[in-house]
Structure 1
Amino acid sequence: MSRRSDMHGFTLIELLITLALLTIVAGIAVPNFTAFIQKTQLQGQADDLVATLLYARGEAVTRRTTAEIIVSDTGPWVVRVGGESLRELNHNPALAQMDADVTSIIYRPNGTATAALVTICRNDEFEKAYVVAVRPSGSPTIHPRGKNADGSALASCTR
């Protein structure tokens, strides 16, 4: 098909082919992007938990007293020192469930703590879950996605 030299623009067929290609690319990208957002939300919750644990440990050492983190399945996790609430870790159970094997985590004035394991999961997808371990030395550790504290594959999101 020949064009006149003074005509500019796209033909209808060129426009339709471009739109079809964009639709295919968007159809591939959107599910991957959704999965990426969900993984990032879980990683963010694990990072927030570690930051809260380190904060409680620092307060216990600085104030030379015990700091307690009250664990809740549905509400915020509260850091208390001397009966005073200092910080809360809010989490949305619809986005990430945090399941701990203890009801509270105690940090002592020397920085040591009660050992605990916390599983951060979404929709019972344990292969994407994170495990945060609090060692008796007081240091928290995030284990690789889908792995238990001993390095084995997670079999469940509950403790």
Structure 2
Amino acid sequence: MPRRSDMHGFTLIELMITLALLTIVLGIAVPNFTAFIQKTRLQGQTDDLIAILQYARGEAVTRRATAEVIVDDDGPWVVRVAGQSARELSHNTSQAKMDADVASITYRANGTATPALITVCRDDSPETAYVVEVRASGAPIRHERGKGADGNALTSCTL
């Protein structure tokens, strides 16, 4: 059936094909985008943890006093310098769970620290978790996603 020259627009079949392709693309893209957002939030929480550890170390060296990071798996982590609260790291446990193998991390005036391992995980999924290691030198190290401090794949989010 030939079209008249004054008719413009799309046919019903063209619209149906476009909608079908759009549905397929969205069906693939939305779950991947959701996983990307969750991984980004987890990495952001890990970066915040490293920043507060570096802050505590810096304050200990600058003030020539002991700085302590009080670990709370369900609440905010508190930095105390010379016995006074200096900063807090709040975390939403529904977005990321932080589990440490110590109750506190102490930084001395020379920058050294008590060694610790911290796991930052979401939904008990060790393949997307991060392990942050606080070395005796005081340096916090973030290990590769899904890998432990020994370089092997994580099998659990708990230490």
TM-score by length of 2: 0.98
Secondary structure of 1:38 counterpart:
helix
> Which amino acid is the alignment partner of residue 118 of structure 2?
V
Identity of aligned residues (%): 75
The answer to whether structure 1 residue 38 and structure 2 residue 34 are counterparts is no
Partner of 1:95: 95
> Which amino acid is the alignment partner of residue 157 of structure 1?
C
* Whole-Å separation in 2 of the counterparts to 1:15 and 1:2: 19
The answer to whether structure 1 residue 83 and structure 2 residue 89 are counterparts is no
The answer to whether structure 1 residue 64 and structure 2 residue 71 are counterparts is no
> Which amino acid is the alignment partner of residue 43 of structure 1?
Q
Partner of 1:146: 146
Task: List gaps (5 residues or longer) in structure 1.
Answer: none
TM-score by length of 1: 0.98
The answer to whether structure 1 residue 48 and structure 2 residue 27 are counterparts is no
Deviations 1:18-72 (A, max 9, x none): 1111111000000000111111111111100000000000000000001000000
Secondary structure of 1:117 counterpart:
strand
Secondary structure of 2:54 counterpart:
helix
> Which amino acid is the alignment partner of residue 107 of structure 1?
Y
How many residues are paired up? 159
Deviation at 1:16, TM superposition (A): 1.2
* Whole-Å separation in 2 of the counterparts to 1:66 and 1:83: 8
Partner of 1:105: 105
Q: CA RMSD in A?
A: 0.7
* Whole-Å separation in 2 of the counterparts to 1:23 and 1:131: 38
Which ranges of 4 or more aligned residues in structure 1 deviate by more than 2 Å?
A: none
Deviation at 1:112, TM superposition (A): 0.4
Task: List gaps (5 residues or longer) in structure 2.
Answer: none
